[in-house]
Structure 1
Amino acid sequence: MARIAATRTLSIAAAVLVALVAASSLKPAAANNDVDALTALRKGLSDPDGALTSWDPRLATDPCEWFHVTCDGANRVTRLDLAKHRLSGTLAPELGQLDQLQYMEIYGNNIQGQIPSELGGLTILVSLDLQDNSISGPIPATLGNIKSLKFLRVSHNRLTGPIPRELAGLPNLRVADFSSNNLCGAIPATGALKNIPPNSFANNPRLHQGGAYVPSC
């Protein structure tokens, strides 16, 4: 009986060990995705003020120790605060790997290039603030996949093309600002965009009130 009990104890201990190893292997993998995403962002940016100096895996492998990064209890990145740091360059598509990100605040810089369509994969994002940059190209229709989005600010950039009608389907959108760009076509007048004030679309000479569907422009 003692031998059977010992065998059972060893089996239970082995099962617990396997579970712990499995759990520990999952956490670094997710954290590594966050490190890869932030490292890719860092490589694509010029940082004259040194705001991203701490973003170096050789100095600290945990991104939760990097400046302007906030994490949750599981050491996953939930917030980026990179406003007004004179950053220039482009936004990395790898940002779409930050699947626990809730706030992306990168306004008041000189970011160029386009908004990566991969940001549409940030399914629990609450706030996307990219205003006051030099971002060009279209607003990705994939942003309409972020059903948790409440705040979308892309004003004072160089965005072109129509406002995607997919954004009208965002159930939680409360604040949106598309002003001072080069957007064109009709403003979708349904869903979440129906109650956005007119000044949020101002200073887009080719943008106008229209029907529910955005025409080509």
Structure 2
Amino acid sequence: MAGRGDLLLIFALTMVSSSLHLQKASGNSEGDALYALRRSLTDPDSVLQSWDPNLVNPCTWFHITCNQDNRVTRVDLGNSNLSGHLVPELGKLEYLQYLELYKNNIQGGIPGELGNLKSLISLDLYNNNISGTIPPSLGNLKSLVFLRLNDNQLHGSIPRTLAGISTLKVIDVSNNDLCGTIPSSGPFEHIPLNNFENNPRLEGPELQGLASYDTNCS
């Protein structure tokens, strides 16, 4: 029969185990989201080799930056020879400020869930093979400064929701297959026209009251 000391030891070990389990369960949701991205990508150069889902959080992974509270603030995977597609789980990285995935071979669409990244400052997806439309939900990114989607295969119109992001300084959607008209309000007042060039079906800046032109754009 176990003595009092043994029972106390067992209780203590049980509490520690439970504490570690809770820490992992509560602290690894960002790791789960990033690991979902890893599973969706082909990585011939083993850039993502350190992305171990068994760790408490992903702050020790290469190409990941965290803040002092161990929340992910940067994903730096530009020019990494990656292919595959983006995943909606990325929208769970609520403290993310920089999503850098430029100059890869990423295909598929831009998940609408990226509109949940309320802390995002820079979204760099240029020089990939991304298709589909630009999600209107990106208009929810009220901290966004840099939006670079150029050199992809995007179609459809430029969402008018982007005109409501007062912080936007750089918008580049050149070299796609966008159509309709270029917004002319909000941050679009100061974006040079060459940031929209090489979209054969995209017209010049919209005239007042004629944004409905884009309803026939696909």
Give the TM-score range, shorter chain: 0.7 to 0.9
Q: Take 1:125 and 1:29, find their aligned partners in 2: how far apart are those partners?
A: 25
- Does 2:182 match 1:187? yes
1:193 positional shift: 1.2
AA aligned opposite 2:145: K
Cα pair 1:112 1:136 within 8 Å, conserved:
yes
1:62 positional shift: 2.6
Q: Take 1:99 and 1:138, find their aligned partners in 2: how far apart are those partners?
A: 23
- Give the TM-score, by structure 1 length: 0.85
1:148 maps to which of 143, 151, 158: 143
- Match of 2:167, SS state, is coil
1:195 positional shift: 1.1
Cα pair 1:187 1:211 within 8 Å, conserved:
no
**CA distance 1:126–1:34, change in 2 (3 Å):** same
Cα pair 2:32 2:53 within 8 Å, conserved:
no
AA aligned opposite 1:112: Q
Structure 2 counterpart of 1:86: 81
- Match of 2:178, SS state, is strand
Structure 1 counterpart of 2:42: 46
Q: Take 2:190 and 2:25, find their aligned partners in 1: how far apart are those partners?
A: 42
- Match of 1:194, SS state, is helix
Map 1:170-185 onto structure 2 (within 5 A): 170-185=165-180
- Does 2:99 match 1:104? yes
2:90 maps to which of 87, 95, 101: 95
Q: Take 1:142 and 1:30, find their aligned partners in 2: how far apart are those partners?
A: 27
How many residue pairs get aligned? The number is: 194
Cα pair 1:30 1:76 within 8 Å, conserved:
no
Structure 1 counterpart of 2:64: 69
Cα pair 2:24 2:57 within 8 Å, conserved:
no
Structure 1 counterpart of 2:5: none
Please list the CA deviations of residues 39-72 of structure 1 after superposition, one character each: whole Å capped at 9, or x if unmatched: 10001000011100111224x4430010000000
Give runs of ≥4 in structure 1 deviating > 6 Å. none
1:211 positional shift: 2.7
AA aligned opposite 2:90: L
Q: Take 1:105 and 1:94, find their aligned partners in 2: how far apart are those partners?
A: 16
Q: Take 1:110 and 1:96, find their aligned partners in 2: how far apart are those partners?
A: 21
**CA distance 1:199–1:90, change in 2 (3 Å):** same
Q: Take 1:45 and 1:159, find their aligned partners in 2: how far apart are those partners?
A: 20
AA aligned opposite 1:36: D
Q: Take 2:114 and 2:40, find their aligned partners in 1: how far apart are those partners?
A: 16
Q: Take 2:93 and 2:42, find their aligned partners in 1: how far apart are those partners?
A: 21
Identity of aligned residues (%): 55
Structure 2 counterpart of 1:5: none
1:198 maps to which of 189, 193, 196: 193
1:56 maps to which of 38, 52, 62: 52
Greater Cα shift, 145-154 or 192-201: 192-201
Q: Take 1:134 and 1:140, find their aligned partners in 2: how far apart are those partners?
A: 16
Name stretches of at least 5 consecutive residues in structure 2 with no aligned partner: 1-17
AA aligned opposite 2:29: N
Q: Take 2:191 and 2:84, find their aligned partners in 1: how far apart are those partners?
A: 30
AA aligned opposite 2:48: L
Structure 1 counterpart of 2:155: 160
- Match of 1:183, SS state, is strand
1:30 positional shift: 5.0
